[in-house]
Chains A and B, each alone.
Chain A
Amino acid sequence: MSSYRVSMDIGGTFTDVVAYDEQSGTYAVGKASTTPADLTEGVLAGCEQVVGSPGDVTFTVHGTTQGLNAFLQRRGERVLLLATRGAGDVYHIARGNRTRLYDVHFRKPEPLVRRADIVEIDGRLDSAGTELEPLDEAGVRAAARRVREEGFGAVAVGFLFSYVNPEHELRAQAILRDALDGVTVSLSHQVAREWREYERTSSAVVDAYTAPIVRRYLERLETELRSRGLAVPLHVMQSSGGIVTAESARELTLQTLLSGPVGGTMGAVALARMLARPNLVCVDMGGTSFDVSLVIDGAPDVSSEAELEGFPLLMPVVDIHTIGAGGGSLAYPEAGGLRVGPESAGADPGPACYGRGGDRPTVTDANVVLGRVDEGNFAGGSMTLDAAAAHDAVGRLGDELGLGTAELAEGICDVANAKMAQAIRTLTVEKGIEPRDFALVAIGGAGPMHAVFLARELGIGEVLVPRFPGAFSAWGMLETEVRKDTSRPYFSPLAEVDLDDLVRLLDELEHEGFAGLADEGIARETGRVEHALDLRYVGQEYSLTIGLTGAGEPRAADFERALSDRFHAAHATRFGHANPGAPVEVVAVRTAALGDLGRADPAALQDGGGAEYPADVRQVTFGRSPQDTAIVRREDLSRGAVVEGPAVISEQTATTVVPPGASASVDPIGTLVVRVGEEP
Chain B
Amino acid sequence: MARTAVDPITTEIVRSAFKAAADEMNATLIRSAYTPIIYEMKDCSVALLDSEHRVLGQSAGLPIFLGNLEICTRLTEDAYGRAAWRPGDVWIMNDSYLTGTHLNDMTMFGPIFHDDECVGFAACRAHWLDVGAKDPGGSMDSTEIYQEGIRVPPVKVVEGGTERRDVVDLLGRNSRFSYPAMGDLRAQIACINTGAARLAAILDRHGLGTVLAAREAIFAQTERYERAAIAGIPDGTYAAEGCLDDDGITGEPCWVRVRVEVSGDEMTVDLTGSDDMQAGPVNCGEAQAISAARVAYKLLINPDNPPDGGAFRALSVKVRAGSLLAAEDPAPCQWYFTPLGLLIDLVVRALAEVLPEQAAAASYGDSMVISMSGLDPRTGRPWLDLEPTVGGWGAWQGSDGQDGLINNVNGSLKDLPIEVFETKFPMRLTEYGFRTDTGGAGRWRGGNGIVRQYEVGCDELTLYLWFERSRTPAWGLFGGEDATPPVVVLNPGRPDERRMLKCSRVKLRRGDVIRTMTGGGGGFGPVGDRDPELVRADVRDGHVSPEAARAVYGLEVEG
Contacts and interface: CB of A to CB of B under 8 A. Distances in A.
Contact of A106 (B298, B402, B415, B541): B402
A401 interface: yes
A340 B32 CA distance: 32
A422 interface: yes
A131 B187 CA distance: 44
Interface string B13-52: 1011101100110011001101010011000000000000
Contact of A338 (B8, B63, B359, B396): B8
Given A96-B405, A429-B27, A415 B9 contact: yes
Contacts of B450: 89, 93
Interface stretch (A73-81, A107-115, A598-606, A667-675): A107-115
Interface string B341-360: 00000001000000000111
Interface string A509-542: 0000000000000000000000000000000111
Contacts of B541: 114-116
B222 A335 contact: yes
A408 interface: yes
Contacts of B396: 104-105
A86 B415 contact: no
A127 interface: yes
Contact of A104 (B32, B36, B299): B299
B531 interface: no
Interface in B401-441: 402-406, 408, 411-415, 417-420, 422-423, 428-434
A87 interface: yes
A430 B30 CA distance: 9
A401 B360 contact: no
Contacts of A430: 27, 31
Contact of B295 (A102, A126, A198, A339): A102
B151 interface: no
Interface residues of A, number: 68
Nearest to B42: A101
Contacts of B428: 126
B432 A93 contact: yes
A334 interface: yes
Contact of B432 (A86, A103, A541): A86
A335 B32 contact: no
A470 B27 CA distance: 33
Q: Which of B179, B396, B408 has the most CB of A within 10 A?
A: B408
Given A89-B404, A403-B9, A408-B9, A195 B32 contact: no
Contacts of B125: none
A301 B183 CA distance: 27
Nearest to A429: B27
Contacts of A106: 393, 402, 405
Given A86-B430, A115-B542, A92 B403 contact: yes
A569 to B, nearest CB: 16
B434 A92 contact: yes
B168 interface: no
Given A98-B406, A160-B418, A334 B225 contact: yes
A411 B13 CA distance: 9
Given A422-B20, A425-B24, A491 B12 contact: no
Contacts of B348: 104
A88 interface: yes
Contacts of A310: none
Given A107-B399, A107-B402, A89 B434 contact: yes
B187 to A, nearest CB: 8
Interface in B373-415: 390, 393-394, 396, 399, 402-406, 408, 411-415
A613 interface: no
A97 interface: yes
B249 to A, nearest CB: 30
A419 B15 CA distance: 10
Contact of A197 (B390, B402, B418, B542): B418
Nearest to A431: B31
Contacts of B225: 334-335
A339 B12 contact: yes
B304 to A, nearest CB: 8
A420 to B, nearest CB: 10
B415 A93 contact: yes
B539 to A, nearest CB: 9
Interface string B444-458: 000000100100000
A183 interface: no
A134 interface: no
B406 A97 contact: yes
Interface string A622-649: 0000000000000000000000000000
A309 to B, nearest CB: 16
Contact of B20 (A127, A426, A540, A541): A426
Q: Which of A104, A105, A114, A336 has the most CB of B within 10 A?
A: A104
A108 B179 CA distance: 37
A101 B63 contact: yes
A171 interface: no
Interface in A395-421: 401-403, 407-408, 411-412, 414-415, 418-419
A93 B450 CA distance: 9
A90 B450 CA distance: 11
B406 A577 contact: no
Nearest to B220: A336
Contacts of B414: 95-97
B15 A337 contact: yes
A23 interface: no
Given A104-B359, A127-B423, A422 B412 contact: no
B412 A403 contact: no
Contacts of B393: 104, 106
Interface in B150-191: 179, 183, 186-187, 190
Contacts of B408: 104
A93 B390 contact: yes
B295 A414 contact: no
Given A86-B431, A87-B432, A576-B28, A195 B423 contact: yes
Q: Which of A93, A102, A408 has the most CB of B within 10 A?
A: A102
A196 interface: yes
B529 to A, nearest CB: 19
Nearest to A336: B221
Contact of A575 (B32, B221, B360, B413): B32
B543 A97 contact: no
B415 A426 contact: no
A419 B220 CA distance: 21
Contact of A90 (B7, B15, B17, B432): B432
A126 B422 contact: yes
Contact of B11 (A97, A107, A337): A337
Nearest to B428: A126
A599 B97 CA distance: 67
Interface in B454-485: none
Contact of A432 (B15, B31, B34): B31
Contacts of B23: 422, 426
A97 B359 CA distance: 20
B390 A96 contact: yes
Nearest to B397: A105
Contacts of A104: 299, 348, 358-360, 363, 393-394, 396, 408
Nearest to B426: A127
Contacts of A87: 418, 431-433
Given A101-B60, A101-B63, A101-B411, 7 more contacts: A86-B433, A336-B220, A338-B8, A403-B7, A415-B13, A429-B28, A491-B423
Which 3 pairs show the lowest CB-CB distances between chains A and B? A411-B9, A96-B390, A422-B20
22 contacts: A87-B431, A89-B450, A93-B434, A97-B406, A97-B414, A99-B412, A103-B299, A104-B358, A106-B402, A107-B402, A115-B543, A127-B423, A197-B418, A414-B13, A418-B13, A540-B36, A575-B32, A576-B31, A577-B34, A577-B187, A579-B183, A582-B179
